[in-house]
């Protein structure tokens, strides 16, 4: 295994065009690192920081090896993912291709290039009920399966891997159409929004806190011994019910949300109590929920 520097000079980020990935690319480019953004061949790179080197992956194993070799990163942050809350038959192939095939290609390219430090993203949904592995969704199962594949590279190639398991994320300029965005849109438009009965717990983590967590995690994995894989949680400062989240947004925005409670059933294996696993040492969320949501309410007014 090639030795790693105390501070990387060159950092490869997968999923650079995504909500979290693009924030990581910008944050590390702003800090003066040479950042390579690994994206799909046909991805729109318009939201990427112009200081980043865009590396377009054609889907092939050898092509990915060539990209990793040419950019020669000191470490990799693996943010690329395909998320599906409740999958249907049409989502199985994208889930496997993105969360397992591509991830395995990445690990193998890293091994062939002597790049042995990885920060990986998991999900709190790998723990449906308690600390043991119990996937709430097929998506969560693919995240665990990637960790199991990474275990081979940890043992055989001397990788040091840090997996950060995220709760639900939010923040400005989020194109994903997830819960917070849908609630703000309904509040702004005055339109009705079909929701579950609303008793499930929600833990929201601001995207800026994801960046700060990755910074701490990157320092940790660079200092780690070869052949180690650590797993920690990144989560927001509050857990509240969906009903209380709607009430919080109504207070912050000064206008109601026309929530149609119970119009949607709970998902199969709905996570009623988010996983409260061990936090990444030396890190805690800095963005309070009122501050983070309040800023979004102001932007959407």
Report d(CA 196, CA 85) in Å as an integer.
14
**One domain for residues 271 and 220:** no
What's 293's domain CATH number? Answer: 3.90.25.10
Confidence of residue 6 (pLDDT cuts 50, 70, 90): low
- CATH number assigned to the domain comprising residue 137: 3.40.50.720
Query: Residue 227 — left, alpha, or beta (φ > 0 → left; ψ -120 to 50 → alpha)?
Result: left
| 1, part of any domain | no
Q: What is the pLDDT of residues 194-239, one digit of tens each?
A: 999 999 999 999 999 999 999 999 999 999 999 999 999 999 999 9
What confidence category does residue 4 fall into, taking pLDDT thresholds of 50, 70 and 90? low
- Give the per-residue pLDDT at 301: 54
3, part of any domain: no
Q: Say what the pTM is.
A: 0.95
- DSSP, res 140: H
Sign of CA dihedral 12, 18, 21, 26: positive
Residue 17 neighbours by CB distance under 10 Å: 20
Across the range 167-188, mean pLDDT stands at 95
* Predicted local confidence at residue 1, as pLDDT: 39
Q: Which domain holds residue 149?
A: 10-170+206-234
pLDDT digits (tens, 9 = 90+) for 276-301: 999 999 999 999 999 999 999 986 55
Same domain, 143 and 194: no
Answer yes or no: is pLDDT of 2 > 60: no
Residues 14 and 40 grouped into a single domain: yes
């Amino acid at each position: 295994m090639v030795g790693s520097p105390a501070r990387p000079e060159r950092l490869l980020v997968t999923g650079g065009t995504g909500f979290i990935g693009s924030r990581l690319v910008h944050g590390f480019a702003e800090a003066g690192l040479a950042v390579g953004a690994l994206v799909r061949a046909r991805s729109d790179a318009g939201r990427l920081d112009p200081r980043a080197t865009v590396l377009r992956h054609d889907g092939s194993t050898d092509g990915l090896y060539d990209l990793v070799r040419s950019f020669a990163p000191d470490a990799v942050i693996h943010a690329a993912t395909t998320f599906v809350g409740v999958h249907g038959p049409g989502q199985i192939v994208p889930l496997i291709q993105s969360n397992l095939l591509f991830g395995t290609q990445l690990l193998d390219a890293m091994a062939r290039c002597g790049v042995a430090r990885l920060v990986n993203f998991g999900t709190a949904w790998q723990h449906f009920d308690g600390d043991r592995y119990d996937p709430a969704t097929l998506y969560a199962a693919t995240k665990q399966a990637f960790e199991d594949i990474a275990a081979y590279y940890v043992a055989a190639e001397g990788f040091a891997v840090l997996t950060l398991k995220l709760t639900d994320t939010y923040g400005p300029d989020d194109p994903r159409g997830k819960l917070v965005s849908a609630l703000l849109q309904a509040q702004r438009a005055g339109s009705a929004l079909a929701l579950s009965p609303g008793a499930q717990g929600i833990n929201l983590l601001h995207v800026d806190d994801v960046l700060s967590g990755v910074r701490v995690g990157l320092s940790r994995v660079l200092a780690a011994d070869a052949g180690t894989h650590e797993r920690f949680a990144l989560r927001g400062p509050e857990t509240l019910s969906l009903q209380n989240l709607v009430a919080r947004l109504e207070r912050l925005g000064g206008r109601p949300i026309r929530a149609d409670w119970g119009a949607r059933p709970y998902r199969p294996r709905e996570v009623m109590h988010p996983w409260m696993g061990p936090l990444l040492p030396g890190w805690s969320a800095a963005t309070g929920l009122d501050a983070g949501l309040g800023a979004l309410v102001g932007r959407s007014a």
